[in-house]
Amino acid sequence: MKLEAVRIPPCLRGFEAGDAEQVFDVTLVGAQVAAIEASEQPARGTLLSAMVDAHAHIDKNYTVREVGAAEGNLFAAIGRTAAHRAHWTADALRSRMRRALDEAWHAGTRALRTHLDWAGAEAPASLAVLEELRAQWHGRIELQFVALVPLDLFADIEAGDRIAHAVQRAGGVLGAFVYRNDGIVSKLGRVFDLAQTYQLALDFHVDEGLDPEATGLRTIAQLVIARELHGRVVCGHACSLSVQDDAAARDTLALCAQAGLHLVALPTTNLYLQGAWDRTPVPRGITRIREAAALGLRASLATDNVQDAFYPYGSYDLMETFGLGVQMAHLAPASDWLGAITVSPAKALGLGWDGCIARGCPADLVLLAATDEYELLDPRGRRRAVIRAGRILESA
């Protein structure tokens, strides 16, 4: 198959090229990219590697009709979901999770990391369903999971060990919800102890609010440096960084860069949850993506919640998430940030392919109709052909 006259954004190129606006002919042979050659034709589309969703919640998605929308109240959403979770069944979980994976697959996602609510020492019912679906979806979507545990639960030594052992057995990632906890340093230290003992990667929900006193991200970065866990820790949200003093925020980001932290911003959920609901909100619920990039730390953009109490709208189309992130954080030129849904999350999830397009790379691609960056966010430009193993899956 030959893809003629396509733009490949510089941030996705794994090959040397001249002019940043150069157009290419890409030849696919079997399941690989066989050749990339300069084209003299005008661009007919934009080529991306298949997308990677670094942060989702496929256990609780599509439940908003039962629990209601929290309308800006994070802790109301947490409470409502906890009450609803007590009645979750394997069949209901399987239906929701399959729907999410099917939608992500058809949108062009090749890997997805979901957080599973993990409220006690015992593994939740969602884990067994995830293991079943992970096997069924093997070769289509690489499905990872994170145990989303309340940080305070790690104060119970026995519970922490049982959780970490279960996560290790199931091939997962250890995580925690971190937000202004008492004794935060010692509790986070316990999580790091468990990660090192059980050889687990870490992925935190951290500082998901607009309280400038929430500094969990800084503590995590300091622990990563002290424990020499460079590159093995992901931090999602970090919204409070946006309302902190500029100098303090920059110091924290410098520590994050030194630690090799992977930052994940969640524009849909945090635009909905953070900020005022009694007037037009001025604070935006997004971390300092551009300031992080200036320090060499390229953040990812991810889905987070879909049609649940935390965010009652949305889908698993990462191009929609990308579009909102571009507008919300003023990411320009937009083409320069396409790595936020491809290369950056691939690195954060430790995937075998970093998402850079080059000769010999997997022919798992997304061909967008957009012929320049100004069409990336419009309905026509987002129309796509999803290519997996060198074959077109679907045009939309």
| Residues contacting residue 79 through CB under 8 Å, at least 6 positions apart | none
Query: Are 2 and 329 a contacting pair, CB within 8 Å?
Result: no
CA–CA dist 333, 373 (Å, integer): 7
Q: Is the preceding peptide bond at 10 cis, omega within 30 degrees of 0?
A: no
Kindly tell me the sign of the dihedral angle through the C-alpha atoms of 130, 131, 132, 134. Answer: positive
The pLDDT assigned to 136 comes to 98
Domains plus CATH for the chain?
2-49+355-395 (2.30.40.10), 51-341 (3.20.20.140)
Instruction: Give residue 17's pLDDT band: very low, low, confident or very high (50, 70, 90).
Output: confident
Does the pLDDT of residue 316 top 80, yes or no? yes
CA–CA dist 220, 225 (Å, integer): 9
Query: Are 93 and 125 a contacting pair, CB within 8 Å?
Result: yes
The pLDDT assigned to 165 comes to 98
Comparing CA positions, the residue from 349, 350, 315, 286 lying closest to residue 115 is: 349
Task: Encode pLDDT of 317-356 as tens digits.
Answer: 999 999 999 999 999 999 999 999 999 999 999 999 999 9
Does the pLDDT of residue 282 top 90, yes or no? no
Mean pLDDT over residues 56-62, rounded? Answer: 98
**Residues above pLDDT 90, as percent of the chain:** 94
Does the pLDDT of residue 217 top 60, yes or no? yes
Instruction: Give residue 20's pLDDT band: very low, low, confident or very high (50, 70, 90).
Output: low
**Pairing mode of beta strands 45-49, 51-56:** unpaired
The pLDDT assigned to 287 comes to 96
Instruction: Give residue 275's pLDDT band: very low, low, confident or very high (50, 70, 90).
Output: confident
CA–CA dist 160, 208 (Å, integer): 23
Per the prediction, the chain carries an average pLDDT of 96
Write the DSSP assignment of 312-361 as a string of letters. SS--S-HHHHHHHHHHHHT-SSGGGGGGGGTHHHHHHTT-SS-S-B-TTS
Mean pLDDT over residues 23-31, rounded? Answer: 97
Q: Does residue 375 have an active-site annotation?
A: no
Comparing CA positions, the residue from 253, 259, 248 lying closest to residue 212 is: 248
Instruction: Give residue 395's pLDDT band: very low, low, confident or very high (50, 70, 90).
Output: low
CA atoms within 13 A of residue 317's CA, in its CB half-sphere: 17
Instruction: Give residue 19's pLDDT band: very low, low, confident or very high (50, 70, 90).
Output: low
The pLDDT assigned to 394 comes to 63
The pLDDT assigned to 284 comes to 83
Does the pLDDT of residue 100 top 60, yes or no? yes
Indicate which residue of 131, 132, 208, 394 is catalytic: 208
Query: Are 371 and 47 a contacting pair, CB within 8 Å?
Result: no
Q: Is the pTM of this model over 0.95?
A: yes
Does the pLDDT of residue 396 top 60, yes or no? no
Query: Are 318 and 303 a contacting pair, CB within 8 Å?
Result: yes
The pLDDT assigned to 206 comes to 98
